[in-house]
Amino acid sequence: MTDSPHPYSALTPDVALDALDSTGLRADGRLLALNSYENRVYQMGVEDAQPVVVKFYRPERWRDDAILEEHAFTAELAEREIPVVAPLALNDATLHPQGVGRGCKDAQASTTTLHRHAGFRFAVYPKQGGRMPEFDRADTLEWMGRFLGRIHAVGATASFAHRPTLDLETFGYASRDFLKQGRWLPADLVAAWDSVVEHALASVAHCYARAGAVHAIRLHGDCHAGNVLWTEAGPHFVDFDDSRMGPAVQDLWMLLSGERDEQQAQMNAILTGYEDFMEFDPRELHLVEALRTLRLIHYAAWLARRWDDPAFPAAFPWFNTQQYWQARILELREQIALMDEPPLVA
């Protein structure tokens, strides 16, 4: 089932600015929409303070306890001086509608990182500057590896109770089944798609079997270049919205690109830094192409699940076309071949 149509139709600029006011911060009227589709994210000016970034969560996607679990994980990382951008603990307007500084005697007892206003849940983050990281540089990848090792060393100390695990069931079978429920594919491509997806998922299962029982830890979950801001101090990790349990290599493989020899050199650089802080299980390298395959299938299902949101047809007009599905079928066939090859080595 898809989300209800127009999930953000009531999120007008005035509602967004009033939401920030409800936390005790005073919006100065400046509002800039940032690039985000799953949620709605705005940079907002604040009176007598630095701008902040406000994320309005997609209705019905996460339960409150899952969002708070993500916030707790980022706070745990920040406490250890790992450069993540964690949400701010601000006034809880549901307990003190007048707000901190306006009659609230016990601000400490009423602060939270998850807020509500006009039917929307939201979080407020400090603005973090930075540029896109240069993942083609070995020193950048080694630096990334060091901080990912630190994140995973913390992530391995406990488990999520309310967030899902990235595995063959959640990203593979569930995505396959959702696409089968709707008329997303042209009729002449349905048989080819169904066949290649079944073959691809069988290959993913074989990769997991070769890897054996790998240990699932708390991850960033979506560690691509767009979720890393680079400064002179190094990387800053943002947007833990997809954080979940899974194999450590999930946060590493998205840093790889190019031909096999290039990816091998990149992985060497990453692990050089990573293993300063966290031991890496080399069996997980069997999962690199399997996880890439799961992401491809999951991404197609994600677009389909969100198609009732008018932002998606506008941003992804090529989805659900003959050319799109032909390209995905070819892509999965290439992934099947790659999953049959020997893995990268540690």
Q: What are the pLDDT digits (tens) for 6-51?
A: 789 999 999 999 999 999 999 999 999 999 999 999 999 999 999 9
In the block, residue with structure tokens 């339960």:
63
Residue 103 has a pLDDT of: 37
Last residue of a domain, which of 100, 126, 152? 126
Structural domain span for residue 200: 138-339
Whether residue 6 lies inside any domain: the answer is no
Whether residue 345 lies inside any domain: the answer is no
Mean pLDDT for all residues in the chain: 93
Q: Cα–Cα distance between 108 and 265 in angstroms, integer?
A: 49
Last residue of a domain, which of 66, 99, 126? 126
Q: Cα–Cα distance between 144 and 140 in angstroms, integer?
A: 6
Q: Cα–Cα distance between 193 and 195 in angstroms, integer?
A: 5
Q: Cα–Cα distance between 121 and 126 in angstroms, integer?
A: 17
Whether residue 25 lies inside any domain: the answer is yes
Residues 108, 150 within the same domain = no
Query: 299-320: per-residue pLDDT in tens?
Result: 999 999 999 999 999 999 999 8
Residue 120 has a pLDDT of: 97
Residues 323, 211 within the same domain = yes
Residues 248, 223 within the same domain = yes
Query: Do 94 and 120 form a contact (C-beta atoms < 8 A)?
Result: no
Whether residue 182 lies inside any domain: the answer is yes
Residues 251, 288 within the same domain = yes
Query: Helices 174-181 & 190-211, crossing angle to 10 degrees?
Result: 170
Structural domains counted in the chain: 2
Residue 286 has a pLDDT of: 98
Query: 193-211: per-residue pLDDT in tens?
Result: 999 999 999 999 999 999 9
Residues 122, 142 within the same domain = no
Q: Give φ, ψ of 332 to 5 degrees.
A: -70, -35
Residue type for 129, please? G
Whether residue 132 lies inside any domain: the answer is no
Q: Cα–Cα distance between 210 and 247 in angstroms, integer?
A: 14
Residues 114, 161 within the same domain = no
Query: Helices 288-305 & 174-181, crossing angle to 10 degrees?
Result: 30
Query: 95-114: per-residue pLDDT in tens?
Result: 544 444 333 444 445 889 99
Query: Do 31 and 16 form a contact (C-beta atoms < 8 A)?
Result: yes
Whether residue 92 lies inside any domain: the answer is yes
Residues 322, 176 within the same domain = yes
Query: Helices 288-305 & 190-211, crossing angle to 10 degrees?
Result: 140
Q: Across residues 139-145, what is the average pLDDT?
A: 96
Residues 77, 174 within the same domain = no
Residue 87 belongs to domain with CATH number: 3.30.200.70
Last residue of a domain, which of 126, 147, 179? 126
Query: 43-76: per-residue pLDDT in tens?
Result: 999 999 999 999 999 999 999 999 999 999 999 9
Residues 173, 142 within the same domain = yes
Residues 108, 164 within the same domain = no
Residue 147 belongs to domain with CATH number: 1.10.510.10
Q: Is the pLDDT of residue 169 over 50?
A: yes
Q: Which of 180, 197, 186, 190 is nearest to 296 (CA)?
A: 197
Residues classed as catalytic = 222, 239
Residue type for 243, please? S
Residues 159, 90 within the same domain = no
Whether residue 244 lies inside any domain: the answer is yes
Whether residue 317 lies inside any domain: the answer is yes
Residues 107, 207 within the same domain = no
Contacts of 147 (CB under 8 A, 6+ apart): 82, 83, 234, 235, 237, 273
